[in-house]
Amino acid sequence: MSNHEAVELGHTQCGKTTFYWGKRTYIMGVINLSPDSFSGDGLGNNIEAAVARARHMAAEGADIIDIGGESTRPGSAPLSINEELHRVIPVLERLTVELSLPLSIDTYKLGVAQKALAAGANMINDIWGLKQEPELASLAARKEVPLILMSNQRDISPNHNIAFPDIISVVTSDLQKSIEQAMTAGVPKENIIIDPGIGFGKTQEQNLEIMRRLVELKTLGKPILLSSSRKSVIGHVLDLPADQRLEGTMATIAIGIARGADIVRVHDIREAVRVCKMSDAIIRGRP
């Protein structure tokens, strides 16, 4: 039995799109509206540039676009709700009209998520897995939208300096709590997606271990999102800046798919589409 056949995950409805898990790997394109994105692709308040990039991602084969206004780089200052709304809402309003793809809002703030869904977002991507704002689960339940729950250790290891005895056990336990919290709030099981949180309080060795052992998260019975694109772990291995981590990113995607990833969050869509298609042909037996 392969990694992808071990658990029947069914499907998730996101806007007008249905994700049939296990059939192929889905691709989430990243739109960063922060001026200080770690990956060097931050667009700030440039609405036209963001819309153009999203259109380009759609044309290249993205399945969903993830829009975030606050930088997640270590040490970055949190945004006020008003500033985050100022960045993301105009872009969401434009893309809702101009694209047929579903849109995800990358936020852990309830006020931002509420207005983003009203503006046309179809999914909530919470990098804190409900630790910062438990009410996001109730919102996702009421609005019947999928919810991505990420395992984030920055609350207990902000400087990546805690040597967890077994990082997969830590991540699994963390995600299990988030899943139970979401389902208690009324989020249907098919609307929960999990993300192990590459970076986010882990050491570089732990990041590599998570990707090597990703299949172990299949015990949670949820689709797995892998967000490794341009991350510092790639720079750590290759000794390259963020804008030169394409090949390293694609290696993590191919291996991630072999280890059970169902959706990948990436900056470079064209290349990711090709890697996913080839990997799916081998791993899932899809031509």
Neighbours of 187 (CB within 10 A): 26
Which pLDDT belongs to residue 111? Answer: 97
Which pLDDT belongs to residue 44? Answer: 61
Could you report the per-residue pLDDT of 211-238, keeping only the tens digit for each?
A: 999 999 999 999 999 999 999 999 999 9
Which pLDDT belongs to residue 39? Answer: 45
Amino acid at 276: C
Q: Among positive and negative, which fits the CA dihedral 284, 104, 118, 101?
A: negative
Q: Are 255 and 25 in contact (CB under 8 A)?
A: no
Which pLDDT belongs to residue 42? Answer: 52
Kindly list the distances between the CA atom of residue 63 and the CA atoms of 14, 37, 235, 264, 269, in Å, as whole numbers in the listed order. 11, 22, 27, 10, 10
Give me the phi and psi of 92, to 5 degrees please.
Answer: -60, -45
Which pLDDT belongs to residue 77? Answer: 80
Could you report the per-residue pLDDT of 237-263, keeping only the tens digit for each?
A: 999 999 999 999 999 999 999 999 999
User: Among 154, 202, 222, 231, which one carries the catalytic annotation?
Assistant: 231
Alpha helices in the chain (DSSP H): 47-60, 81-98, 110-119, 135-143, 167-184, 204-212, 232-238, 246-258, 269-283
pTM of the model: 0.93
- CA–CA separation, 11 vs 67, rounded Å? 23
Considering only CA atoms, which of 210, 183, 186, 189 is closest in space to residue 198? 210
265 is catalytic: yes
Amino acid at 260: G
Considering only CA atoms, which of 215, 51, 217, 28 is closest in space to residue 125? 28
| CATH, domain 17-283, list 3.30.540.10, 3.40.30.10, 3.40.718.10, 3.20.20.20 | 3.20.20.20
Q: Which residues contact 173 (CB under 8 A, 6 or more apart)?
A: none
Enumerate residue ranges in the chain where pLDDT < 70. 1-7, 36-44, 161, 287
Considering only CA atoms, which of 175, 222, 165 is closest in space to residue 200? 175
Which pLDDT belongs to residue 36? Answer: 56
- CA–CA separation, 126 vs 70, rounded Å? 12
Amino acid at 237: V
Domains of the chain, by residue range, sit at 17-283
User: Among 109, 154, 222, 265, which one carries the catalytic annotation?
Assistant: 265
Could you report the per-residue pLDDT of 95-124, keeping only the tens digit for each?
A: 999 999 999 999 999 999 999 999 999 999
Three-state helix/strand/coil letters over 166-232: CHHHHHHHHHHHHHHHHHHCCCCHHHEEEECCCCCCCCHHHHHHHHHCHHHHHHHCCCEEECCCCCH
